[in-house]
Amino acid sequence: MTKQTTNHILMIEPVAFGFNEETAANNYFQQRPDAVAGQVQNRALTEFRGMVEKLRSHGIDVLVIRDTPVPHTPDSIFPNNWVSFHADGTIALYPMFAENRRPERRDDILQAIAQEGFAIYNKVDYTAAETANRFLEGTGSIILDRVNRYAYAALSQRTDKELFLRFCKDFGYKPLAFHANQTVEGKRLPIYHTNVMMCVATDYAVICLDAIDDAEERAMVCEALTGTGKEVVEITEEQLHCFAGNLLQVENDKGELFLVMSQSAYDSLNKNQLERLASYNVILPVAIHTIETLGGGSARCMMAELF
């Protein structure tokens, strides 16, 4: 039976986390550091290990693989952008916008995962598209409703429509492509990843509908979500900027459901929103302020689901 959630999570422990100039070109969530590189790495490592410990303490299986110092990959802490794992043993490898992120795709990581008992029977590789400057950044770009076979994607420089449609054809999903924007210095600019503005869980979806400026596209997304039985929990653009859309529902070894989010995201949500989310699962906030402010990605980006 196809499931939306998994108890098995891959996380990459950073060795040289830092502000990435290449990704900052279109990731408007990134903020420049107020500390030197060594201090930033130490803070990020403390936050990372605290998150891993918290997940494991609730019975969630976390496979941690340490990054390598060479080549330097400041964003390796966000593995969901270069690989996705699927229940039939297929994996997908994705083309990424920033050249200094592409070495994150490591065969030794895939070998380590296979040694843990996650068989890889088939590999679908989209990375050749990088030569044509076309990108699709994994489950950053694509939000999967694995049960109902819908795939949602906010098109941007990092989410190419043709590649998205190809993924949907290859993996058997119905595509829903749309445009999502955020206000940056008074201008409406594309949101770089879909997973900062929406999350699909087993019985609900969290989404910033205000980010979808086109009324027809907004209605299309709403109809797909409600038509598949999801309760729609709306967040504001202000909450989006606190990473309240960058969430992931996981389960533990007892099948209990948890919604993982950053402490910043949790603090931004109001009582009604929290109560609605808590009615479906335990909310699990993690303190990752350094990672999300410098990296421009939050809790969901740090977890690659293993099926």
Query: Residue 141 class from Cβ within 10 Å (0-12 exposed, 13-18 middle, 19+ buried)?
Result: buried
The one-letter code for the residue type at 158 is R
In 166-268, DSSP assigns E strands to: 174-178, 181-184, 187-190, 198-200, 204-207, 231-234, 248-251, 257-262
pLDDT tens for the chain, residues 1 to 307: 789 999 999 999 999 886 656 665 565 555 666 655 568 889 999 999 999 999 999 999 999 999 999 988 889 999 999 999 999 999 999 999 999 999 999 999 999 999 999 989 999 999 999 999 999 999 999 999 999 999 999 999 999 999 999 999 999 999 999 999 999 889 999 999 999 999 999 999 999 999 999 999 999 999 999 999 999 999 999 999 999 999 999 999 999 999 999 999 999 999 999 999 999 999 999 999 999 988 888 999 999 999 9
Q: Rounded distance, CA 61 to CA 84, Å? A: 17
Domain residues of the chain, as ranges? 8-305
pLDDT score at 31:
63
Query: What tens digit of pLDDT does each residue of 1-37 get?
Result: 789 999 999 999 999 886 656 665 565 555 666 655 5
Query: What tens digit of pLDDT does each residue of 242-278 get?
Result: 999 999 999 999 999 999 999 999 999 999 999 999 9
Q: What residue has token string 């008074």?
A: 186
In the chain, DSSP assigns E strands to: 8-13, 61-66, 83-85, 90-93, 122-125, 142-145, 150-154, 174-178, 181-184, 187-190, 198-200, 204-207, 231-234, 248-251, 257-262, 282-286, 304-305
Superfamily of domain 8-305: L-arginine/glycine Amidinotransferase; Chain A (3.75.10.10)
pLDDT score at 294:
82
Evaluate whether 88 touches 54 at the Cβ level (below 8 Å).
Answer: no
